[in-house]
Structure 1
Amino acid sequence: MARTRFVCRDCHRVLDPDVDTCPACGSTSLTEDWAGYVVIAHPEESEIAREMQVTEPGEYALKVR
């Protein structure tokens, strides 16, 4: 059975289920309530990254509640 992945409410990065702090921004505000998934490989060339204000490559949630 797969464990639910968490998302950081501050930077929207998708995290492993066993973390309690976001390694990207240091936030402890994590949630399991999220929707949509995008992998950003080259944020400097991505219109989605610009819209989301993402500057680092990684996995991100599109909607975080």
Structure 2
Amino acid sequence: MAREVACKKCKAVTVGKVCPLCKSVDLSPDWSGIILIFNPAKSMVAATLDLTVPHKYALKVA
């Protein structure tokens, strides 16, 4: 199984070499916590974290 990495800019979690959301290549294998956003328009958590795209995000990226 491929190791997941998190984008340092938008905190999106991916297994690729490029962030699928912001197209950054600044990815880190050192991250913790996961939040899944399904409907950002109705999510208070997404509003608090300023997330507008449904995706899997890391809470902390080092």
TM-score (norm 1): 0.86
Q: Which runs of 5+ in 2 are unaligned?
A: none
Identical aligned pairs, as a percentage?
35
Residues 39-54 of structure 1 aligned to structure 2 (within 5 Å)? 39-54=36-51
Number of equivalenced pairs:
62
1:15 aligns with 2:14: yes
Structure 2 distance, partners of 1:50, 1:26, is 22
Normalising by structure 2, report the TM-score. 0.90
Please give the alpha-carbon distance, in whole angstroms, between the structure 2 residues aligned to 1:45 and 1:30. Answer: 28
Q: Unpaired segments of 5 or more residues in structure 1?
A: none
Q: Which residue does the alignment assign to 1:28?
A: 25
Aligned CA-pair RMSD: 1.0
Deviation sequence 1:31-64 (CA, Å, 0-9, x none): 0111100110011111111122110001000111
By percentage of residues, which structure has more helix? Answer: 1
**After TM superposition, what 4+ stretches of structure 1 lie above 3 angstroms from structure 2?**
none
